[in-house]
Amino acid sequence: MHKRNFKIKSSSLKNMEEVIPNLILRFKQIFKMKLKQ
């Protein structure tokens, strides 16, 4: 049971590592759009 819990945590961590760069990219795009306006 303990190992299973750890697996879930590590997988969610991996997801965060993928999501955060995407968020940063999106934020940069939005920022550029606002700068052009």
Q: Which of 17, 23, 18 is nearest to 31 (CA)?
A: 23
pLDDT-based confidence at residue 36 (cuts at 50, 70, 90): confident
pLDDT, tens digit (0-9, with 9 covering 90-100), for 5-33: 667 677 888 888 888 999 999 999 999 99
Domain boundaries, the chain: 1-37
d(CA 5, CA 20): 23
pLDDT at residue 25, as a whole number: 95
Residues 1-33, buried b or exposed e (16+ Cβ, 10 A)?
A: eeeeeeeeeeeeeeeeeeeeeeeeeeeeeeeee
Q: 7 — alpha (psi -120 to 50), left (phi > 0) or beta?
A: alpha
